[in-house]
Structure 1
Amino acid sequence: MLRKIQKENMGTSNLGWLESRFHFSFAQYFNPSNMNFGVLRVLNDDIIHPNSGFDTHPHDNMEIISYVVKGSITHKDSMGNQETLNRGEVQYLSAGDGIFHSEHNLHEEDLRLLQIWILPPRKNLEKLYGSYRYKKEQRTNKLLNIVSSDKQNSKVNIYQDVNIFVSELDKSKVIDYKIKKNRQIYFVQIEGSCQINDVILNEGDALEITKDDNLSISALEDSHFLFIEMKEE
């Protein structure tokens, strides 16, 4: 079953320095019927304007992945990590019993990123931080597994049993993906447009995929997308 969520029906926020689209309840957007999709708790499509960002703040018991779409993000945290990442690169942390961090755009162009929060399998796990600088050719006209559990072979491993894939698909190219039994998918159209089976997604739209066994993803124009595969609820 495929359920389309149009970007116009998502929560939004504009704080001046930050423009956000909320796929699930977050901050001032609260919808009790839209709290999560399986272990996916938060997916925010953020635009952070130049020379601004999230000052130091805490997190605990959440696994957080940032996927950079445009511009550069600079991270600092209470474990002593500090680095800057660019388009297509991935930063992650498992906050365990508590971590402080900041995320800033220190450059003169807008930063766009997807912030993805995954519920961990249990509380107070050992804290993790890391990143990986994936290359464009790794995701061009193919699926790139950018995040997985530590039992899989992605370059980025978190505790929860999820797989996150991205692709930049040229117009008219097609990718098929086989969904294993008792798994479900949340699909995000980042840029461009695609047809997934018989559903068309435009930039910013999303798709919940349950009780299905195969996806045929066809690029209607040059297209950039991400999806998160996980256990069924």
Structure 2
Amino acid sequence: MVKKLPKENMGRSHLGWLESRFHFSFAEYYNPNHMNFGVLRVVNDDIIHPMSGFEMHRHRDMEIISYVVAGEISHKDSMGNIETLKRGEVQYLSAGDGIFHSEHNWHKSQDLRLLQIWILPPGEGLDRLYGSYRFQAEERKNTLLNIVSSQEGDAKIKIYQDVNFYVSELDAAKGIDFTIDKDRQIYFVQIEGVSRVNGRVLDDGDAMEIVDESTLQIEAITNSHFLFIEMPKEE
């Protein structure tokens, strides 16, 4: 079963300095039919305008992945981490019993676009984790790049939950297939460009829920940039 989620049906917020598209209920956007997808709780497609950002705030008992689409994100947290990341680079944290952090776009003229993705952890009060990885563009060019996995997985970034994140930038007319185990499901985000996914066309900003399918078939209609999350099937 595949379910296309057009971007026009998602939640929207415009705070002046921040423009957001909410895939699931978040902040002032509430949709009881879109609270989560398995262990995936939040996908926010954020545009942060120059010289602005999220001031220091607290997270706990959540695993958070930030994937930079364009611009630069500057991070600072209560664990002493300070860094700036660019397109295709990834920041992660497992907040455990609590982490304070801030996220800013200090560029004077360029917008920052990023996906902020929250994963429910397998337990409360886990040891805090923080890190990042500076993936190179050629690592995801016309192939699938596994950017996040569980502690038992093979990705450069490892979190506690049993998930895998994959990204790719496919040239137009290129295709990729991915085998889905019977007890797994996928949430697919079309970041840029247009793809055909299991027979359905996704424009930039659209998403798809994929359950009880054995194969994920992706064809780039235009140059296509996408991310998907593979996780245990919701019972």
Q: Could you tell me which residue of structure 1 aligns to residue 193 of structure 2?
A: 192
RMSD: 0.4
Counterpart CA distance in 1 for 2:46 and 2:222 is 23
Q: Any unmatched runs of 5+ in structure 2?
A: none
Following superposition, which runs of at least 4 residues in structure 1 exceed 4 angstroms of deviation?
Answer: none
Within 2, Cα distance between the matches of 1:197 and 1:55? 40
Match of 1:204 in 2: 205
Q: Which amino acid is 2:130 matched to?
A: Y
Q: Distance in 2 between matches of 1:144 and 1:64?
A: 19
Within-5 A mapping of 1:150-189: 150-189=151-190
Q: Distance in 1 between matches of 2:182 and 2:8?
A: 32
Counterpart AA for 1:163 = N
1:143 maps to amino acid:
L
Post-superposition Cα deviations, 1:107-157, rounded to whole Å, max 9, x if no partner, equal 020000000000000000000000000000000000000000010110000
After superposition, the C-alpha distances for 1:7-63 in whole angstroms (9 at most, x for unaligned) are 000000000000000000000001112100000000000000000000000000000
3-state DSSP class of the match of 1:161?
A: coil
Q: Secondary structure at the match of 1:76?
A: strand
Structure 1 distance, partners of 2:2, 2:70, is 29
Name the CA distance, whole Å, in 1 between partners of 2:116 and 2:132: 14
Instruction: Name the residue aligned to 2:19.
Output: 19
Match of 1:132 in 2: 133
Which secondary structure does the structure 2 equivalent of 1:137 belong to?
Answer: helix
1:90 Cα deviation (Å)? 0.2
Structure 1 residue 99 corresponds to structure 2 residue 126: no
CA distance in 1, matches of 2:88, 2:11: 25
Amino acid at match of 2:61: N
Q: What does residue 10 of structure 1 align with?
A: 10
What is the alpha-carbon distance in structure 2 between the residues aligned to residue 64 and residue 184 of structure 1?
19
TM-score, normalisation: structure 2: 0.99
Matched, 1:59 2:66: no
How far does residue 197 in structure 1 lie from its aligned partner after superposition?
A: 1.7
Percent of pairs with identical residues: 68
Return the TM-score normalized by structure 1.
1.00
Question: Number of paired residues?
Answer: 233
Q: CA deviation at 1:226?
A: 0.2
CA positional deviation for 1:80? 0.3
Q: CA deviation at 1:206?
A: 0.2
Structure 1's unaligned 5+ residue stretches are none
In the other structure, the counterpart of 1:89 is 89
Separation (CA, whole Å) in 2 of partners of 1:181 and 1:31:
28
| Cα distance between partner residues in 1 of 2:219 and 2:99 | 40
1:149-180 deviation per Cα after TM superposition (whole angstroms, max 9, x unaligned)? 01011000000000000000000000010001
Opposite residue 44 of structure 1, the aligned amino acid is N
Counterpart in the other structure of 1:219 = 220
Is the counterpart of residue 47 in structure 1 residue 47 in structure 2?
A: yes
Corresponding residue of 2:142: 141
In the aligned structure 2, how far is the partner of 1:71 from the partner of 1:94? 24
